[in-house]
């Protein structure tokens, strides 16, 4: 769950705690984050390799699925995943489908070593 205009991540909370979550969520987020002091270059993300280098080099998160209101796992619809990358020269993300039978996920990472924009 994320909260507020800046989408501050706060973790998992059951819908029974919130009146605004009576029916369903409209978005789910998975991702990665790196951070360094403003006067230092950015660190590597994941293994430090870009997604286009493949499964043997880049990091990945696989087995992504949703749980519906009846507590059954549901595949993410094809084309239902959007990517966001704030520093494409330093890091990247790419779609991973059917790595194993029915597995969905994403490859991510990069070497970093970029100066942060302040």
Tell me whether residue 5 is exposed, middle or buried, using C-beta atoms within 10 angstroms of its C-beta: 0 to 12, 13 to 18, 19 or more: exposed
3-class DSSP assignment, residue 45: strand
pLDDT at 92: 92
Mean pLDDT of the region 46-57: 90
pLDDT at 18: 66
pLDDT at 118: 46
């Amino acid at each position: 769950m994320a909260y507020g205009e800046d989408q501050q991540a706060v973790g998992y909370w059951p819908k029974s705690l919130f009146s605004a979550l009576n029916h369903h969520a409209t978005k789910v987020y998975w991702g990665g984050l790196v951070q360094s002091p403003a006067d230092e270059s950015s660190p590597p993300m994941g293994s430090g390799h870009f997604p286009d280098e493949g499964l043997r080099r880049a990091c990945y998160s696989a087995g992504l699925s949703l749980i519906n209101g009846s507590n059954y796992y549901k595949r993410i619809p094809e084309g239902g995943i959007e990517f966001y990358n704030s520093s494409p020269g330093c890091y990247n993300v790419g779609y991973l489908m059917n790595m194993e039978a029915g597995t969905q996920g994403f490859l991510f990472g990069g070497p970093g070593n970029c100066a942060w924009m302040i």
